[in-house]
Structure 1
Amino acid sequence: MLRSDTFKSTAFRLALIFSGLFFVTFVVAGFLAYRIISTDLHDRLDLTLNETFDVIASSYGDADVEDLIGTVQTYAAATRDHDRVFYLEDASGQVLAGNVTTAPADPGLSMISGSAFGLDTDARYRAFSGVIGGNTMVVGSSYEETDELGGLALSSFAWAGVIASAIAVAAGLILARAVRTRMNAIGGTMDRVGQGELTARIALRGTGDDIDILSGQVNAALDRLSALVEGMRQVSVDIAHDLKTPLNRLSIIIEGALEKAERGELNSAELVQAQNEAGRINATFEALLRIAQLESGARRERFTEVSLSSVLSTLAEAYEEVAIENGQTLSLSTETGDAAIVRGDRDLLTQLFANLIENAIRHAKGGTAIGMYVHRRNGTVSARVVDDGPGIPKDESEKVFRRLYRLEKSRSTEGTGLGLSMVKAIADLHGASITLSSANPGLAVTITFPATNGPKP
């Protein structure tokens, strides 16, 4: 039994519309075919009458009226049920031969009713009248067969239209049920997501049709939503975890300062410590707000054409002495020169690579070599920061981009765990991909940007 929502479905309504169009098309085509067939049969009938008249007239070649009468009688005798009529009269109006007793005398082709031939019928006849040696001869043929053929063609197209419409409606019902089943599956999945089951996904059939494509896009959106919600949850946990220690430390410092103040002792050192601790907390929140701002797409209006070679060259000069003081080396190698042009915000790109360099300097030991490389390949510009330090474990490579995530679980060293989160936010803002890989030993961070052919800024 069909459900009411089946009749409301778009697929079924389209099937009804197309079935109506099919029916109208078949009716119009049938009418046109009827007119064409009818006209063709009419012309063929006229041609047959003319040829028959000429054949009979040829028997009067020697002005022998007896041969003419015999030929007319032969044709008349071969006719049954008056489907064809023959009539011959002399100049005085006396009937000489034929299978009818009278006939109109109008010359040429004409439409005549059966009663005009003296027949007990109103059937239509197509007749040709002409004079042969002073004798009038009429040759006629019934229009009944022609009408039957035309009507058959018209009714055939009408029935074909009805059958095609019925098939279209049936196909529409089947399609509507199939589409409704798939749409119900999509709706059920979205209901589960709405109830908090963020892991629910729409099952794909693998057919590659439009519903499968839409389902894949919805699943991708759900993946992003799930990741966003999980990220927010993780950030909330990380913020509570990361700020608990500095806030406790700040509270202890302030309590110590207050105790000294009560004893009349100087507490400037404690106040400086409190100020520094508050500054680090504020810096963490500012970094979080900055990342959120970048993820919202802000700053895109400030994009210009930027040379990555120029950005990395400036950073290499700025951090070379820092690396040397830390017992490390920092070098830059570029194959592209001014061709490494990308569209972006120069200040943000500078911060991106500065974070990567600082990350390498901070976490690598003395003697580590840090290298920066720029090259252009197949319409993209890639920049790599490589070091031969301790690297990042493979199972941690995705986690390090989370806000406040730190490989050092004890969190005894300085840092907020937002450096690589900032790197990813800036890369995403610029439509760039970021890849972490092993440098055997060490870490290689590759940022790949869409290239532009613009001039160096």
Structure 2
Amino acid sequence: MRLPDFYRTTSFRLATLFLAMFGVVAAVLFSYLYVEITGFETERIDDWLMRERASIARVAPDDLAARFENQNRYDPRHQRPFGLFDADGRHVAGGYPGNRPAIPFFDKPFSVRLEGLPGDPPGRCIAARLQDGRVALQCQETHELDHFDEELLHVLITAAALTLVLGLIGAWLVGAGSVRRLDAVTASIREIVGGNLSQRLPLHAKGDDIDRLVRVVNGMLDEIERLMHEVKGVCDAIAHDLRTPLTRLMAGLERAERRAKSDADYRRAIEDAIQEAGGILRAFNALLRISEVESGMRRDTFVKVDLASVVADVVEFYDPPAEEKGIALEQRHAAPGPYEMQGDPSLLFEALANLVENAIKFAPEHGHVSVALFRDANGFGVTIKDDGPGIAPGERQAVLRRFYRGEASRHTPGSGLGLSLVHAVAGMHGMSIRFNDVPAGCEVVLYRQAQPL
């Protein structure tokens, strides 16, 4: 990756932003430390000068020259040069070299170059004008203090430079790691775009924001792959399952064209064709119905529904056909209600009607079908049980696919779309569908988990 491209990465820019913020804070802190440390030393010298200035007032004027000379004897290196000057500025006593320097103000410390001393070192001085016109000058050489200030500034600048370099290296490492991860993600996406729908974005088990995003995207890819396989399966199923009725339709029409000799023969052929076309149309309508439910368009029309009332309507509706077949259709409440939920009453009726209709269809004559409402600690649901041939455990998920016909139902009328519609309606209402293991027959459960408050 080129440097300009590397700079445009989010990780590097965030790292440099935090580095800049830290740099501003560090600069303020370093400046504060520098000012406070150097100011403390200057204040200490100024405090000493003010005490020396006060001590002059306690010395007799005639003894002042002797004191300055005495101080000079104890300061051979002229670290603290004192000078007493007459009214004309000529040197009278003390170790200060030369005549009186320019004095900006009296009785307050000031900075000056101590000219005449080796190297003209810097110093802090205080001057006092005496009553007889003489001027007393007391100084402290500050060469070591200035050297300390320079070293302190050098240390702070060095620390700032090291912080900047290390921060940039850290930002580069962070950015490089993110770039490697993004390159791996990009390569995986290219494979997916190229047609490898089984490919997934790589996870690094770090649990960071990129991993959270990758998990969401991988979940989306799982759903896309499932939908693609489902679409392919639907197309294959349509081509396979509709080929038979279309073949029968065309064969009947061709047979009527070749063999029909009377109006009655043509009428029977037309009725057979209408019946076959009606079956095909019902299959397509069922597919459109499932697509409509899966799209979730009808969620906006949800109202409060009592599932017990819907179950009662379904049982009442299918009681006559069950009685005609000699089947005992029973409704039970395993637990008291209410069984209220948000949903579409007509869709719930249609889903339950499909399950009850299947139970009646596959139950043997004089058999038994029960519809039971139940409730547990986690939610509530409805169970539809019959004593028919049942569904093999290996087919329980397959029967929810469009056009799938199990071995027990392969020779019975139907399109294989009823349970697909039930599955779609259940998913739309936040319900699950499962098949319980029972000794005989089939037991289907629609279950809704309680919603958190």
Asked whether the two chains share a fold, i.e. TM above 0.5, the reply is: yes
Q: Distance in 2 between matches of 1:145 and 1:437?
A: 92
The residue correspondences of 1:59-70 to structure 2 (distance < 5 A) are 60=59
Q: Distance in 1 between matches of 2:61 and 2:387?
A: 125
1:399 aligned partner: 398
Q: Please, which runs of 5 or more residues in structure 1 have no aligned partner?
A: none
Contact 1:334 1:373 in 2 (8 A): yes
Q: Please, which runs of 5 or more residues in structure 2 have no aligned partner?
A: none
Deviation, structure 1 residue 401: 1.4
CA 1:356–1:147: 2 relative to 1, 3 Å: farther
Contact 2:391 2:408 in 1 (8 A): no
> For residue 36 of structure 2, what is the amino acid of its counterpart?
I
> For residue 373 of structure 2, what is the amino acid of its counterpart?
Y
* Identity of matched residues, %: 30
2:36 aligned partner: 36
CA 1:83–1:406: 2 relative to 1, 3 Å: farther
TM-score, scaled relative to structure 1: 0.84
2:11 maps to 1:11: yes
The residue correspondences of 1:417-432 to structure 2 (distance < 5 A) are 417-432=416-431
- SS at the partner of 2:196? coil
The residue correspondences of 1:190-269 to structure 2 (distance < 5 A) are 190-262=189-261, 266-269=265-268
1:86 aligned partner: 82
Q: Distance in 2 between matches of 1:410 and 1:343?
A: 33
Deviation, structure 1 residue 90: 8.2
Q: What whole-Å deviation, never above 9, does each CA across 1:153-194 have from its counterpart, x for those lacking one?
A: 333332222222212221222222221221121111111111
The residue correspondences of 1:5-154 to structure 2 (distance < 5 A) are 5-53=5-53, 60=59, 72-73=68-69, 75-79=71-75, 81-88=77-84, 95-103=92-100, 106-115=105-114, 119=117, 123-130=121-128, 137-154=136-153
Contact 1:254 1:270 in 2 (8 A): yes
1:371 aligned partner: 371
CA 1:218–1:452: 2 relative to 1, 3 Å: closer
CA 1:177–1:290: 2 relative to 1, 3 Å: same
Root-mean-square deviation (Å): 3.4
Contact 2:69 2:93 in 1 (8 A): no
2:287 aligned partner: 288
Q: What whole-Å deviation, never above 9, does each CA across 1:232-279 have from its counterpart, x for those lacking one?
A: 111111111111222222223323433453356544334323222221
Contact 2:130 2:136 in 1 (8 A): yes
Q: What whole-Å deviation, never above 9, does each CA across 1:47-81 have from its counterpart, x for those lacking one?
A: 23234555x55985xx6965x76765564444464
CA 1:58–1:284: 2 relative to 1, 3 Å: same
Contact 1:434 1:446 in 2 (8 A): yes
CA 1:275–1:8: 2 relative to 1, 3 Å: same
Q: What whole-Å deviation, never above 9, does each CA across 1:433-455 have from its counterpart, x for those lacking one?
A: 333332455323233156499xx
- SS at the partner of 1:108? coil
> For residue 140 of structure 1, what is the amino acid of its counterpart?
C
Q: Distance in 2 between matches of 1:20 and 1:184?
A: 27
The residue correspondences of 1:436-447 to structure 2 (distance < 5 A) are 436-441=435-440, 442-447=442-447
Higher RCO structure, 1 or 2 (CA under 8 Å, sep 6+): 1
1:162 aligned partner: 161
Q: Distance in 1 between matches of 2:433 and 2:167?
A: 52
> For residue 38 of structure 2, what is the amino acid of its counterpart?
S
Q: What whole-Å deviation, never above 9, does each CA across 1:202-246 have from its counterpart, x for those lacking one?
A: 222211111111221121111111111111111111111111222
Q: What whole-Å deviation, never above 9, does each CA across 1:346-387 have from its counterpart, x for those lacking one?
A: 111111221222222223334334232143745x54344344
- SS at the partner of 1:43? helix
CA 1:128–1:279: 2 relative to 1, 3 Å: same
1:303 aligned partner: 302
TM-score, scaled relative to structure 2: 0.85
Q: Distance in 2 between matches of 1:315 and 1:451?
A: 25
Q: Distance in 2 between matches of 1:439 and 1:209?
A: 46
Deviation, structure 1 residue 422: 0.5
Q: What whole-Å deviation, never above 9, does each CA across 1:264-319 have from its counterpart, x for those lacking one?
A: 65443343232222211110000001111222222222111212122122223223
Contact 1:400 1:421 in 2 (8 A): yes
Contact 1:33 1:153 in 2 (8 A): no
> For residue 83 of structure 2, what is the amino acid of its counterpart?
Y
> For residue 171 of structure 2, what is the amino acid of its counterpart?
G
Aligned residues: 446
> For residue 92 of structure 2, what is the amino acid of its counterpart?
V
Q: What whole-Å deviation, never above 9, does each CA across 1:104-159 have from its counterpart, x for those lacking one?
A: 675312314235x7546654422233479978643322333333333333333322
